[in-house]
Structure 1
Amino acid sequence: MISSPLTSWNTSAASCRAAAVAGYPSITVPAGFAGPLPIGMSFIGGPGTDEALLRFAAAFEDAAQARRAPAYLPTSS
């Protein structure tokens, strides 16, 4: 079997994998919750759009207001 970066990386980063392999900037920001679990929104830009992508992601984060303090579970003794 032939191994490639697209098949050998962890699948939890699937939304940004192609961008990373191609060298495009990408960023993931908080987008809300599915029950107690946080979900994120990934944005991918073209070559040389790093600064614009960061501004866009910051604007989305400001508008979405999806951040909240973590809820820690009690530890067992």
Structure 2
Amino acid sequence: TLYISPLKALAVDIERNLGKPVEEIGLPVTIETRTGDTPSHKRQRQKLAPPDILLTTPEQLALLIASNDAKRFFADLRYV
């Protein structure tokens, strides 16, 4: 699932507000944020092993679409 947030702060808030109940229930779901502040090593890992739910900004989405790995990265995407 890809969630596109207009603001980085909103994406971070959603990750926190969604992650806590998911963790408390014990669901095997990974939730991560990808913004301009995300370290490059984490962005690289997200491209190789995407989380179940990725919250990102339009700017980061544009970079993902333009990357050489775009086809593979978006191949299993089901929900936006």
Q: Normalising by structure 1, what TM-score?
A: 0.29
Higher alpha-carbon Rg: 1
Compare relative contact order (CA 8 Å, sep 6+) and give the higher one, 1 or 2: 2
